[in-house]
Structure 1
């Protein structure tokens, strides 16, 4: 009998270990010793449950040298799920293909241990938040996720809301909160607002709690214990109910009062479709009311030629476009459809039907494709109307569009009329309204904001000349610029009504300009060529390769500028302000006047003695109570400079070209009276890119709190444009204009609104004001004099507010700011929509 064989020790097939856990990132290596070139697949276990596998195929040359294998590709990396970042203990393990344990390399002593590891990861983020509470029928608050490593503040967090311990709703905190961004920086899209449905409103106090999910972190200010029913409202409703029982004749009026007591949600741009449907009903009613008041009828209606070039259109969209013209309440029109060599039998057949049914529809066939400009020119040549309207083959006219345009133009000598517009998608949803300003030449240089719907008098259009094929893609922008060369600005009429729907399809420029990059180049050339024709020297370039253009004027002369800075103590701030001016101003022809408003410290006296050693700086002491208007007026009265630059001592310059930029903007035309800049908070958020005015709030800084690099509404945070007012925290003023309107009002507006009042005086006298967004500075708002919200300032502020309403209440500039749409609320964070209606 043979002796038994001795037992042979088992040779390990696999080698490796995991050597680091950096946050959620797991790294290590593994090798199949019997087949070194074959990558090993490891199994990842979390809390004894397999959550995935990882292939060891990454470079690890350090390991290759130590174990002597042929391949360096034996490393791995695996990212653990977000759920492990919860501050709780977890067990982590890896298994070789034979399910044996992958060892771990201990970080503390470098020893290899054949066991799983236990780890704990604290949440990476912290949260800043606040629950504002319950107001106007809704719960409101905000939350930002803060990365401690980078300091980045992100919005769009998910929030779970409970009522009395029971789940109520989950919301995403992504509503715009400019106040939050202004105060602490970060993403302004961090707010939430949750309406309480009426069927869930019950008497008595309720406990509302708010938590960020999935982290389950409770928001600051949570929980909130409040009643969701206003006791006063309940009492009023009971009283009204008793009155209705007694006085049936007043029931309709009483119901109106009840409705007025019910909080109404504010519409934002995100709610535009809902807003628009109510608006179009209102628009039609207003047009019909005017029609009835004027006697109605078609007598005296000028003929409008609607030019519609087409090339292989989507038939459904094309039919809808034609039907929208047929539906016009203005009956004296002709529709000239130019088939640009499309040779579509379907289009031809459908158009033949239309032409037989309605003689106002005419088809013009071109033998070959000549492009949008050539096709439009052919249509214009065939037009018989007094007015020409431009219409794309897949867009839509609102049914009262032409009638409303002529109602607005009645009694005026308009030669060009344009309206607002929006977009419509294939589902019929209204989107992205373009609520335009009244005619703004400076804005038109930056983008063709006029676009649709545009009517041009036929004789004027023919004088301007044909559309030019070399600008295809921007041919309408080129045409509009050429029209401004022959049509005075007061003969260009804006009708602030949405009368045109631009079709938004996957391949249209309404969806993405990237589909037509040639249009970007054509637009740059169109603007540059126009400026050459009118004698301007300027550099034109596209911003970020889209159809908006930055125009930088060349400085043709170098007038003197006096920079006027009032201050009182606050020497550290004032010193830095002046130092930045002296160091960061390449333009040489300036001087600085520091208006010392009764500074009381030795530090201030030393600073004044020191700073005047620079010959460019002087100090004017004014020992009077603080009166911002008077301080600036006194300094301006002693200056012989052609321009004044009024600024706060907490405005810090960083661009050495700043004064050259703002001065060249002022010198671009003789009727420009003032120029403002784009001012940012230290956080990088927008503090100022122009001021809108109106009786519902006197004035507001538009785009306040928006990220500094955001385009803003239709590019208005990056493109220079005309505005009704700018802030005197940094404002260049032509001395001639300043003296013409008697400077700032130092009697009635000593502190607040003096810059708004001054700008309104300039505009009323015929001067234009430019918001120059190429001039950027940082404004530490509030350092210079504090806030008007403090009790000691309240009475003065209320009186200055009252004065503005009394002085400007009947002025058209104040009643409807020409640079700001009447469809927007004045009191808002970011372009909230006003109640649907119109403005004549």
Structure 2
């Protein structure tokens, strides 16, 4: 979301001794260069400031009163479970007040108090329980750890659904209402989660909104993006056995994995309904306070892979709580690399040389599809390439049509996996083929894409979002290569609706199942359309930022500057609007409705709806 220069006065105003201590820890962890990059990302001003945006976003008093009067056809009881331990009295009261302010009435609050010697907590809990019978609490004999304390709270729950709330956090007044509304509309939902933000200080200043995508398995393996507010059927909690003490510190990450593995219907409510309090001892504001939690999170991801029958190596990234999964290649399948080309000897030679000299995976063939070149230089280069047994030259004599050219080449390819590559790319990552192949070999995955940079080391592609710019657009365009963007999304593995075919791997069987690229789309959006049709079959499209290439952006084809090219481009836009009308109206499930469709850096959508 950030953009522009750091407001240094604002930053210096926050430099309390605690903030300085925290900064020194981060400096030690990241090193000077990475620390500077992250400092810029954290303190740059937001394009749309969140504070005023949030004030305009929250329901009005009239809307909340209307919610209270709603007549329900299905009104499930929601048990909110809270493991409490040495909770400051003020935080405890504010947490319980946030339940009492709910516009939905059929709830209970189940608090397991693991602070038996804390008389202040006991007094407050007794007072609130006497005030409202829906507030129930149990004094535990001792602190048994976060997992077992939570299980004690689970045991108190009698609701149809159970929601997880931390002892010092807050629910928005319409949180349970929105949960109940979703369940009334779709009673077969097993698991729900919402968006969230953070609050700090006595004024409960709201900041750092986390606006999430719909269920995203590879993102969950990269980071516990679901986190708060998480609600699950009580019978499902009983089925999986609650929290596991072996994952204390990341018990919620493990719990969420085990829930979604068994859930048939996972529902995301794209509303900010949970407020995560930050203070010195919370992981929200001080990751170093619970470094053991990140190791537990790594083990939670490993456990998920094992239960899913996947072999994968999980490693920590530079960023706390974010993980990288690498899947080993099974066997030694042939990969067919398909490169369309017209003239552009310099670009093609750079591309092919980078493949031949840098690739650590060796079982590949390169198919170069010649399309109406005119210069003698390129044919001299073709003659040189023809001496390499890994390279095959094909000829497409018709007018340029990216889809038709690649479909033709795919019919000639011998590989089990097809890797579409632009002629103006250059490989950076030696293990690029293994990285893509490891994901593409999974049963649930159809397509794998890469992270691409312009020659000046700014991002050209970090995934594609439907609706950006009208039809679809690349994310984080022109952002510096070193930066990771909103919630590190430029730099972590995740599922998306589409990726660019400038570097895209697909199972040959799936390519044939969807009949390849749409030849009505000669130049634009053919890769987006292709990805969406693969998604319709139920396969994942994975963005893997650990596959890095330079992309010098279609220099050989020129710009859309003639009347004919403009007309063709407009017809392709219209084709996409007609074919994908429903998706464009509903919005990309891997994006959030509260984010801008005119920006590509996860900026907030202004409340006037113009961006």
TM-score (normalised: structure 1)? 0.66
Contact kept, 8 Å, 1:306 with 1:390, in 2: the verdict is yes
Equivalents in 1 of 2:333, 2:64: separation in Å? Answer: 51
Distance, in Å, in 2 between the alignment partners of 1:577 and 1:411 is 52
CA-based RMSD of the aligned residues comes to 2.5
More displaced 10-residue stretch of structure 1: 723-732 or 751-760: 751-760
Does residue 1:617 correspond to 2:391, yes or no? Answer: yes
Alpha-carbon contact 1:478-1:526 (below 8 Å) kept: yes
Distance, in Å, in 2 between the alignment partners of 1:623 and 1:188 is 53
Q: Match of 1:459?
A: 235
1:626-637 pair list within 5 angstroms = 626-637=400-411
Contiguous gaps of at least 5 residues in structure 2: 9-36
Q: Specify which structure has the higher proportion of strand.
A: 1
Q: Secondary structure at the match of 2:557?
A: coil
1:738 maps to which of 483, 508, 511: 511
The superposition leaves residues 287-340 of structure 1 with CA deviations (integer Å, 9 ceiling, x where unpaired) of 777887xxx235641111110111111221211110001111110111011111
Whether contact under 8 Å (1:695, 1:814) holds in the other structure is: no
CA–CA distance in structure 1, aligned partners of residues 135 and 410 of structure 2: 64
Report what 1:45 is aligned to: none
**For residues 405-444 of structure 1, what are the structure 2 equivalents within 5 Å?**
405-412=179-186, 413-426=188-201, 427-444=203-220
1:286 to partner: Cα distance: 6.9
Q: Label 1:380 to 1:745 Cα distance change in 2 as closer, same or farther (>3 A).
A: same
- The separation in 1 between residues aligned to 2:379 and 2:509, in whole angstroms, is 34
Distance 1:188 1:368 in 2: 41
What is the CA deviation profile of residues 574-601 of structure 1, one whole-angstrom value per residue up to 9, with x for unaligned ones? 0110111111112122111101111111
Asked if residue 771 in structure 1 is aligned to residue 535 in structure 2, the reply is no
Residues 344/819 of structure 1: CA separation in 2 closer, same or farther (3 Å cut):
same
1:410 is paired with a residue whose SS is: helix
Question: In the alignment, which residue of structure 1 is the partner of 2:29?
Answer: none
Question: Residue 187 of structure 1 contacts residue 707 of structure 1 at CA under 8 Å; is this kept in 2?
Answer: no
Gaps of 5+ in 1: 1-141, 144-154, 159-185, 194-266
Which residue of the other structure, out of 130, 143, 159, is the alignment partner of 1:369?
Answer: 143
* 1:411 CA drift (Å): 3.7
* Greater relative contact order (Cα < 8 A, sep 6+): 2
Is structure 2 residue 276 aligned with structure 1 residue 276?
Answer: no
Pick one of 449, 452, 477 that aligns with 1:676.
449
**Offset of 1:832 from its aligned partner?**
2.2
Q: Which has the higher helix share?
A: 2
| 8 Å contact kept, 1:298–1:331 | no
Offset at 1:375?
A: 0.7
Rounded Cα–Cα distance in structure 2 between residues aligned with 1:709 and 1:577: 23
| Residue 834 (str. 1) matches residue 605 (str. 2) | yes
Q: Is the 8 A contact 2:95 2:171 kept in 1?
A: yes
Q: What is residue 825 of structure 1 aligned with on the other side?
A: 596
Is residue 754 from structure 1 mapped to residue 530 from structure 2 by the alignment?
no
- Distance in 2, matches of 1:679 and 1:755, equals 15
**CA contact under 8 A between 2:67 and 2:104: conserved in structure 1?**
no
Write the distance in 1 (CA, Å) between the matches of 2:502 and 2:554. Answer: 11
Question: Which of 243, 253, 267 matches 1:477?
Answer: 253
Shift in Å, 1:812: 3.2
Contact 2:426 2:550 in 1 (8 A): yes
What CA distance in whole angstroms lies between the structure 2 residues aligned with 1:332 and 1:454? 17
Matches within 5 A, 1:681-830: 681-694=454-467, 697-747=470-520, 749-788=521-560, 793-809=565-581, 811-812=582-583, 815-830=586-601
Aligned partner of residue 644 in structure 1, secondary structure: strand
Distance 1:415 1:835, change over 3 A: same
For this pair of structures, how many residues does the alignment match? Answer: 575
* Secondary structure in 1 matching 2:196: strand
- The TM-score normalised by the length of structure 2 is 0.89
Once residues 437 and 372 of structure 1 are traced to their aligned partners in structure 2, the CA distance between those partners, rounded to angstroms, is 28
The range that moved more, 562-571 or 762-771, is: 762-771
Q: Which residue of 1 aligns with 2:77?
A: 303
Distance in structure 2 (CA, Å) of the matches to 1:770 and 1:517: 29
